[in-house]
A and B are shown apart, each in its own frame.
Chain A
Amino acid sequence: MKAHVLIAGEARGEVLALSHPISFWGGVDPRTGDIIDARHPERGKNIGGKILALPGMIGSSSAAAVMLELIHAGKAPAALIMPEPDAILLLGVIVAHEMEWPNCPAFALDKTSQKTLHGKTIHIASDGEIKI
């Protein structure tokens, strides 16, 4: 399986494929990486160190700030997978580069393929090649 590279880098980790779109602001605690959205099916799970697969993004435009804070606090996912590039969430990663803080590589992959990876430990190479 190969994902399209959005933000270059490689990552290894367990895939947490969310079953529903999420708003990072109000949905993820920026200090801990816990999912806190009361209505989200994966409430209570932690995204830190996971390869986080997102079926879509909703809600507030403050998601970038939460993403940057997660990176700064060392609670960011190991990588992001999304169906298409999201200019809000990925801004957190772009700004982290400008601040010379750690990277969080990002890849585009369709929702159906995302689901098949849930719970598996994978390696994503810098060219987007996924190995389970």
Chain B
Amino acid sequence: MALHFTKDDEAILAGHKGMGAKMALRIVAETARLMSAPRLIPIASAHIDGALYHGDSGTLFAEKLVEGEAKVAVRSTLNVGALDLMGCSKQRLPPHERDMAKRMMRAYEKMGCEPSWTCSPYQAGHRPALGSDVAWGESNAVVFCNSVLGARTNRYGDFLDIACAIAGRAPDYGLHRTENRRARFVIDVSGLSEQLRRADIFYPVLGTWFGLEMTNDIGVVDGLQGFPNEDNLKAFGAASASSGGVGLFHIAGVTPEAPTVEAALQGQKPEKVIRVTIDMVLGALKRLSNASSEAIDAIAIGSPHLSLDETHALLTLLNGRKVARPFFACTGRHVLRAIEADGTRSKLESLGITIVADTCVVVTPMLPEGGGVLMTNSGKFAHYATGNTGYTVQYGSLKDCVESAVSGHVIRDGGLWQ
């Protein structure tokens, strides 16, 4: 199936709008061909995950676009980079890597992207409307955008996100189409205790189970009506997009395309109904920890980046006590400004917390050298920490992380899981 090009497209492909615009449209069109998309559709916004330094190649690509005078055509926020440009925390990048990472971040800013530098753009004022088509990258942002906001995006990888932002268009396939957003599985969690369904720690754990079970299929969760807040949905989605490739989930009575289970199924019968037992949840919980030692060397929270509420919860749980181990709280500039204004930042720092802005501990070297045991409440950190940092993981709730940070060894409240 040949892709239809408009007159404007043909002018761009002939290079009349600059080499950067031409390269971007060629990348979008080649992806459309690969994915058998019949056409390109206009997009309302983009979230760009491509500005994180993984090596020189990504910097060279961004600079080639800048050199070709490419500019984004729609609102485009930026995901994390490899450096804390706000200067709250220090990264151990060698001089060459530091220079290339900074050049990369600057190149994306030059193309007109907003310097949001966060993996929680949806909590930094970037909330596309229900039903609108967008091109978002970063797996947790994608799943939140689709599931919680009901805007429509595929899982845009690095490079395609910026290419779509420059072209202002995206290939029409996958989750842009209503019929592909239908849930095929029903996940019934009503058999789990209310206490568990009310607990923050339940959501990344259930998300981990969901990602393993669904891989990249779509399921509707039933039995959570009235329970999760937005930060719980954020944690659930991030975990499901780490253990699996989930791009969209529905939660009946909670997410916008699932006022009911039947609505999420689009009137069709589910292929399978899974009744989640406590043993299934415990299996996912166990998987999140892989450390053999109860002594911990560092604590990290904030993947996805902490909301303002979550920074306040951290301060409340610390209750004036100093941490005995390095403790990293990762967030975005949108929250940094707020916690500077309300005094939370200075209080957290006086208790030994390192605030991390613009980046996070698993994407750039910043945990103490030599490795060890990392404690976290993030399903995503738990999934990626060992591969990316060498640290093994002890998983727990935010409260567990705080108590363990104060004492230096793992303290967990196990009562919840009875």
Contact = CB atoms under 8 A, between A and B. Distances in A.
Contact of B26 (A6, A26, A72, A98): A98
B50 interface: yes
B111 interface: no
Closest 5 CB pairs of A and B: A88-B157, A69-B55, A64-B157, A72-B57, A38-B386
A28 to B, nearest CB: 9
A26 B387 contact: yes
A117 B138 CA distance: 33
Interface in A61-75: 61-66, 68-69, 71-73
Interface in B113-145: 137-139, 142
Contacts of A94: 27, 30-31, 34, 159
Interface in B196-221: 211, 215-216
Given A71-B57, A90-B34, A65 B158 contact: yes
Interface string A52-67: 0000111111111110
B181 to A, nearest CB: 17
A87 interface: yes
Given A30-B55, A38-B290, A99-B57, A65 B159 contact: yes
A64 B55 contact: no
A6 B290 CA distance: 38
7 contacts: A59-B245, A72-B56, A87-B156, A87-B157, A87-B160, A87-B171, A92-B157
A68 B245 contact: no
Interface string B215-234: 11000000000000000000
A61 B156 contact: yes
Nearest to A6: B34
Contacts of B23: 98
B18 to A, nearest CB: 14
Nearest to A95: B159
A39 B386 CA distance: 9
B388 interface: yes
Contact of A61 (B31, B61, B138, B386): B138
A72 to B, nearest CB: 4
Interface residues of B, number: 49
A125 interface: no
Interface string A92-122: 1011011101000000000000000000000
A91 interface: yes
Interface stretch (B83-91, B183-191, B236-244, B321-329): B236-244
B64 interface: yes
B139 A64 contact: no
Contacts of A30: 54-55
Most buried by B among A23, A69, A89, A94: A94
